Amino acid sequence: MNLSFHGAASCVTGSCHLLDVDGFRILVDCGMFQGPDELFSSNDMPFGFDPESVSVVLLTHAHLDHCGRLPLLVKKGFRGPIIATLPTRYLAEIVLWDAAHLQEEKTRAGEGGERRRSPRTEGSPDRRSGQRHALLYTLPDVIDTMALFARPAEYEMPVNLAPGIDASFHNAGHILGSSSIRVTVTRPGRKTRILFSGDLGPEVPALLSPSDPPLDNDYVVMETTYGDRLHRSFAASKEELLGVLTDTRSRKGNVLIPTFALERAQDLLSVFREWFQEGRLPKDLHVFLDSPMAIDVTQIYGRFPELLSEEARRLTAAGEGQLFLFPGLRMTRSAQESRSIRDIPDSRVVLAGSGMISGGRILHHLSQEIDNPRSSLVFVGFQSEGTLGRRIVDGAKTVTLLGRECDVRIGTHFINGFSAHADQGDLLDWCRPMKAPETVFLVHGERPSLSGFREVLEKEGWTRIHIPVLHEIVEIPEKPSARKRKPAVSQI
Ligand SMILES: [Zn+2]
Ligand SMILES: [Zn+2]
């Protein structure tokens, strides 16, 4: 048996781990490389294994860095089943359709500036940056991929993959349907359990039930996105955001929040609802969810109240989606509705994608407000190197927005406690109750985060720690199964 790492290995994105059990090949996630990670591992490079040889895909959750290369895997010959929870399947469909659309749009935009197309690649260069945008797959590939999703997995219920090989999904508390997945390989006299953490949520997630992993594992593959730092608390972050909303309204300015469509938008909507209910925000404040994708995702969240936290469940009991509704909220799906937002004379709050201002409707709202010092731009998520969001967070005085040079005079705020990711303390709380595994493999982190978390894990007594590099293959020795106790003989 061996385990190989074909993404999120010594970097954050592109999660893709292959467990080979005597030729039965289990792929856990098949994500896209994003942001700076793309520079050293492009998405159109070979996977590092033959897609046709993969027997089954297990998908931890629907974020693009975990499911984004699935249609490419299918295009290159994978024909086995894909197993995920039902919400992950619904959300992955939304995410993959969006990814295919985006690639087609970028490729079309690049074609106008292209002088000579290389016959060897399908990509097209970006006119401004000269970067090549690979058209990895199109909508029909996404349809082919969705057709391979098998009967959905339920939390805690083992799924038989092959004789002696089972998988079980366990709540990871990260986004709706997110899972840690344990593969158990049973052979005569041997039993080996390998746990893949997937992405983990904070110890107390904003909307979801907390993570619930199995505790007795022989090997653990663990994410370490924030392995070296602590987040501001959710409660403190909420207060900070409320302060920005109140101050901006008193100046008659507008608040723009670049929002990730999946989880962050729903977290924020539930926080707004709470404030409206408690009377901490005026009932006539206009709040817009200006993102068709975030609107779709919000509807999916409304369909799974049983996966939400107890408090969220109590609030949704009144009706589907109730948790996210409050006076003053408008969900604007069409482009025309979106444009009409700017005609509203009163103070308003706009949640729009993309989360790092690398595209989407937020660009249009920001171009209206960027030189208005009465307004506020609030970042509630990580801003990757090279994005417009990151340049503004880093204090750029001028930026180019929709082809126009603009002065940045809008008030900017960065609030980091809304993350759907565990911080160092949460990661430790996740693994502390477990028995120390034979080896823990640290993945899904930048180098400082990986080494920072290695240090704290060593202090916990987890001494066999390995940080794999891309395409590394590691032998996994099988473990002898615990000796069965003799059944107790009842005394007569
Ligand atoms: Zn994730
Ligand atoms: Zn991830």
Taking the centre of ligand 1 as the mean of its atom positions, its distance from the CA of residue 66, in whole angstroms, is 7
**Residue 76 CB partners (closer than 8 Å, separation 6+):** 47, 51, 52
Looking at the fold, whether 127 and 259 belong to one and the same domain comes out as no
Taking the centre of ligand 2 as the mean of its atom positions, its distance from the CA of residue 106, in whole angstroms, is 23
Nearest ligand (C-alpha, residue 444):
2
The answer to whether 69 touches 32, Cβ cutoff 8 Å, is yes
Nearest ligand (C-alpha, residue 7):
2
Q: How far apart are CA 390 and CA 365, in angstroms?
A: 17
Nearest ligand (C-alpha, residue 11):
2
Taking the centre of ligand 2 as the mean of its atom positions, its distance from the CA of residue 63, in whole angstroms, is 6
Looking at the fold, whether 208 and 250 belong to one and the same domain comes out as no
Q: Which two tokens stand for residue 151?
A: 């009967």
Residue at 281 is within a domain? yes
Nearest ligand (C-alpha, residue 175):
1
388, 414, 440: which is the final residue of a domain? Answer: 414
3-state secondary structure 15-64: CCEEEEECCEEEEECCCCCCHHHHHCCCCCCCCCCCHHHCCEEECCCCCH
Residue at 492 is within a domain? no
Q: How far apart are CA 488 and CA 453, in angstroms?
A: 44
Taking the centre of ligand 2 as the mean of its atom positions, its distance from the CA of residue 62, in whole angstroms, is 9
Question: Strand pairing of 24-28 and 17-21?
Answer: antiparallel
The answer to whether 424 touches 226, Cβ cutoff 8 Å, is yes
Taking the centre of ligand 1 as the mean of its atom positions, its distance from the CA of residue 199, in whole angstroms, is 5
Taking the centre of ligand 1 as the mean of its atom positions, its distance from the CA of residue 204, in whole angstroms, is 16
Burial of 189 (0-12, 13-18, 19+ CB in 10 A): exposed
Looking at the fold, whether 428 and 402 belong to one and the same domain comes out as no
State how many domains the chain has.
2
Residue at 445 is within a domain? yes
Taking the centre of ligand 1 as the mean of its atom positions, its distance from the CA of residue 183, in whole angstroms, is 20
Taking the centre of ligand 1 as the mean of its atom positions, its distance from the CA of residue 229, in whole angstroms, is 17
Taking the centre of ligand 1 as the mean of its atom positions, its distance from the CA of residue 214, in whole angstroms, is 20
Residue at 483 is within a domain? no
Backbone angles phi, psi at 449, to 5 degrees: -70, -40
Taking the centre of ligand 2 as the mean of its atom positions, its distance from the CA of residue 339, in whole angstroms, is 33
What is the residue range of 395's domain?
Answer: 234-414
Q: State how far the alpha carbon of 300 is from the alpha carbons of 198, 261, 295, 305, 470, in Å.
A: 21, 12, 9, 10, 34
Looking at the fold, whether 32 and 157 belong to one and the same domain comes out as yes
Taking the centre of ligand 2 as the mean of its atom positions, its distance from the CA of residue 174, in whole angstroms, is 10
492 residues of the chain, pLDDT tens digit each: 999 999 999 988 999 999 999 999 999 999 999 877 776 668 989 999 999 999 999 999 999 999 999 999 999 999 999 999 999 999 999 999 999 998 888 787 766 544 333 333 333 334 334 445 568 999 999 999 999 999 999 999 999 999 999 999 999 999 999 999 999 999 999 999 999 999 999 998 989 999 999 999 999 999 999 999 998 888 999 999 999 999 999 999 999 999 999 999 999 999 999 898 889 998 889 999 999 999 999 999 989 988 998 888 877 665 545 788 888 999 999 999 999 998 888 899 999 999 999 889 999 999 999 999 999 999 998 787 788 999 999 999 999 999 999 999 999 999 988 888 999 999 999 999 999 999 999 999 999 999 999 999 999 999 899 999 999 999 999 988 875 554 444 443
Nearest ligand (C-alpha, residue 178):
1
Looking at the fold, whether 201 and 168 belong to one and the same domain comes out as yes
Looking at the fold, whether 348 and 468 belong to one and the same domain comes out as no
Looking at the fold, whether 242 and 218 belong to one and the same domain comes out as no
Q: Model pTM?
A: 0.90
Residue 22 sits in a domain of what CATH number?
Answer: 3.60.15.10
Looking at the fold, whether 410 and 294 belong to one and the same domain comes out as yes
Nearest ligand (C-alpha, residue 174):
1
Nearest ligand (C-alpha, residue 62):
1
Prior bond to 354 cis, omega within 30?
Answer: yes
